[in-house]
Amino acid sequence: MKKKTLQTIAVAAGVAGLMALSPVPEDKDLSRRAGDYFEQIRRDPLLLTAFFTAMPKGGDLHHHFSGSMYGETYWQILADHNGWINTSTMDVDTPGTEHALPWKRFAALPRDARFDSLKQAFLRSVSAKDYEASLRPSDEHFFATFGKMSFVASFGMEEGLRELKQRAVSENVQYIETQTGQPDMRIDQPESADWEKSLTGVSLKDSLVVFGILDKVRDSLLAHGAVHWADSCRRRMAEIHRNANVDDSTFILRYQLSASRAGAPLSVYRRLMLAFEVASRDSLVVGVNLVSREDGEVSMRDYQLHMLMFAHLDRNYHGRVPYSLHAGELTAGMVRPEQLRSHITEAVMVAGARRIGHGVDIAYESAWKTVLDHMARKKIPVEINLSSNEFILKVQNELHPVLLYFTHKVPVVISTDDAGVLRTDLTRQYVLLATRYPSLRYADIRQIVSNSIRYSFIRPAALKEEKLRQLDIAFARFEQQLLRYGTGKVIR
Ligand SMILES: [Zn+2]
């Protein structure tokens, strides 16, 4: 009986992907019966997988473009363009440069007897596939993939965007907000050495002094062509987006531009300012973020300074550019205990983040209760990444704070961070959520899905409203199909 149910739900998922949207009146009784069915199958991981594949999941608000592409896509891009692979280290390169052995052209690989094992070794090197903890720490392996593949992701961005869309549509995701980097502005600032020194040495307790220095940096960037840089960045992204042809009537993709928190202070500020400048003028680039490992040497040293940079930019762009901040992607043992006390607090209270990414160390923060109350009152969501936190931080099950946020009425969203590196998808994240946290009911999960559109950075507001309406329609259709394709024994 279970096999039959699994099959019929999968059929329902396929049908849902093909049918055009039309208004469906809300039916509370139908939702209740879908909830009853969900409770009956929630301990069966296969039926749960089929259920969540078919369920509309709204948006994936936290993932990085290069980490979301699967290794197979990178392999295909390099093969299509006859790139290079180092057959010892599995490093790769795009076609432009020349290399000597053990580098080989992709065109030569099909004649290599080791083809299959080379491909598998490559996939392991850029993802958690067959990961062996004894060979390399998981956090190091995860973050190393970005340095290894980001330039190939930029090179094959259109192919990558098409892959992200294909996966989203196949698992009934209506929106994705993907983080991607942008080049630094090549603007010569003669005073930069002095400013860099001042920013590194300044007392961060006096934010007015920091703002004074940042005012000068910003004025100088504007006087030397920052708007021109922003315009060319916008044009390039718009062209790639158009060529990749990802948006249609039921699916859209938008971007957050990010800076690495591992950079030198002025470089971080320049990249952030360029991101703010682009996002303030564009509806494809809808937000800004700060990336790289949070426990890195420079990230920890400059954390407070970065929060002040966001506060400064927020003031200068009159609160018009939303941003999400990775904060609290830390856990006990990763850093000293006293370094777990304030990152989320500062991201929310000082930087003014509109959303928080991860928030894993919240219970270790001195002001945790005040922060949770503030996030609940101001509707500042937390982006929860279960697989990512399990792989990188070893935090899962009851040690994960997802229910702490949920019970404090902080809006929760579920995201992938990142599907390609972790060999996962958004469906899997919902399966983990439902399996690990049985107190969450179907209605709660439906609310979590709705949050992923409501608290997205989609603009204009009318487009967000339209996406919310489409989500309601998709849920009604999903619930109807559960009833129609159910065995009749499970759903009455
Ligand atoms: Zn992230």
Cβ neighbours of 293 (radius 10 Å): 21
List Cβ<8 Å contacts ≥24 apart for 235-243: 237/278, 237/282, 237/284, 237/285, 238/282, 238/284, 240/157, 240/158, 240/161, 241/161, 241/284, 243/158
Q: Rounded to an integer, what distance in angstroms lies between the CA atom of residue 468 and that of residue 480? A: 18
Return the pLDDT at 485. Answer: 67
Length of the chain: 492
Q: Which residue's structure tokens are 């500020």?
A: 269
Q: Give Dmax over CA atoms of the chain in angstroms.
A: 76
Supply 62's token pair.
């936290």
**Cβ proximity of 270 and 305 under 8 Å:** no
Return the pLDDT at 411. Answer: 98
Strand 84-86 to 92-93 pairing: antiparallel
Bridge partners, residue 384, by sequence: 414
- Ligand 1 center to 259 CA (angstroms): 12
Return the pLDDT at 203. Answer: 74
Please choose, from the candidates 192, 181, 209, 227, the residue with its C-alpha nearest in 3D space to the C-alpha of residue 308: 209
- Ligand 1 center to 388 CA (angstroms): 9
- The pLDDT tens digits along the chain (492 residues) read 344 444 444 344 433 443 444 445 567 889 999 999 999 999 999 999 999 999 999 999 999 999 999 999 999 999 999 999 999 999 999 998 899 999 999 999 988 888 999 999 999 999 999 999 888 999 999 999 988 899 999 999 999 999 999 999 999 999 999 999 987 888 888 888 889 888 887 777 788 999 999 999 999 999 999 999 999 999 999 999 999 999 999 999 999 999 999 999 999 999 999 999 999 998 899 999 999 999 999 999 999 999 999 999 999 999 999 999 999 999 999 999 999 999 999 999 999 999 999 999 999 999 999 999 999 999 999 999 999 999 999 999 999 999 999 999 999 999 999 999 999 999 999 999 999 999 999 999 999 999 999 999 999 999 999 999 999 999 999 999 988 765 444 444
- Ligand 1 center to 357 CA (angstroms): 7
Bridge partners, residue 255, by sequence: 178, 285
Residue 50 to residues 7, 53, 174, 414, 440, Cα–Cα distance (Å):
8, 5, 18, 18, 18
Return the pLDDT at 484. Answer: 78
**Cβ proximity of 266 and 199 under 8 Å:** yes
Q: H or E stretch including 167?
A: helix 157-170
- Ligand 1 center to 62 CA (angstroms): 6
- Ligand 1 center to 61 CA (angstroms): 10
- Ligand 1 center to 132 CA (angstroms): 22
- Ligand 1 center to 54 CA (angstroms): 26
Q: Rounded to an integer, what distance in angstroms lies between the CA atom of residue 296 and that of residue 312? A: 23
- Ligand 1 center to 91 CA (angstroms): 23
Return the pLDDT at 112. Answer: 84
Bridge partners, residue 59, by sequence: 175
- Ligand 1 center to 65 CA (angstroms): 10
- Ligand 1 center to 425 CA (angstroms): 15
Q: Where are the alpha helices (DSSP H) in 354-423?
A: 368-378, 386-388, 402-407, 419-422
Say which DSSP state 339 is in. G
Those residues whose beta carbon sits under 5 angstroms from the ion ligand 1 are 417
Supply 298's token pair.
């420079």
- Ligand 1 center to 138 CA (angstroms): 15
Q: Rounded to an integer, what distance in angstroms lies between the CA atom of residue 185 and that of residue 270? A: 7
Q: Which residue's structure tokens are 């909830």?
A: 35
- Ligand 1 center to 33 CA (angstroms): 36
Q: Rounded to an integer, what distance in angstroms lies between the CA atom of residue 427 and that of residue 414? A: 10
Supply 449's token pair.
């899905």
- Ligand 1 center to 145 CA (angstroms): 13
- Ligand 1 center to 26 CA (angstroms): 35
- Ligand 1 center to 412 CA (angstroms): 16
- Ligand 1 center to 213 CA (angstroms): 29
Return the pLDDT at 18. Answer: 36
- Ligand 1 center to 332 CA (angstroms): 19
- Ligand 1 center to 208 CA (angstroms): 30
- Ligand 1 center to 472 CA (angstroms): 28
Q: Which residue's structure tokens are 């009425």?
A: 409
- Ligand 1 center to 455 CA (angstroms): 17
Instruction: Give me the sign of the Cα torsion angle 483, 15, 464, 385.
Output: positive
Supply 84's token pair.
């290079």
Supply 290's token pair.
């700060």
Supply 188's token pair.
């010569």
- Ligand 1 center to 356 CA (angstroms): 10
- Ligand 1 center to 291 CA (angstroms): 7
Q: H or E stretch including 260?
A: strand 252-260
- Ligand 1 center to 218 CA (angstroms): 27
Supply 42's token pair.
């929630």
**Cβ proximity of 39 and 301 under 8 Å:** no
- Ligand 1 center to 383 CA (angstroms): 9
Supply 174's token pair.
């209506």
- Ligand 1 center to 100 CA (angstroms): 36
Q: Rounded to an integer, what distance in angstroms lies between the CA atom of residue 183 and that of residue 177? A: 19
Burial of 371 (0-12, 13-18, 19+ CB in 10 A): buried
- Ligand 1 center to 419 CA (angstroms): 11
Q: H or E stretch including 391?
A: none
Please choose, from the candidates 467, 424, 328, 459, the residue with its C-alpha nearest in 3D space to the C-alpha of residue 384: 328
- Ligand 1 center to 359 CA (angstroms): 11
| CA dihedral angle for residue 419, residue 425, residue 429, residue 435, rounded to 10 degrees | -130
Phi and psi (nearest 5°) for 258?
-130, 160
- Ligand 1 center to 323 CA (angstroms): 13
Q: Which amino acid is at 164?
A: L
| CA dihedral angle for residue 347, residue 179, residue 455, residue 433, rounded to 10 degrees | -90
- Ligand 1 center to 191 CA (angstroms): 33
E strands present in 331-483: 355-358, 382-384, 412-414
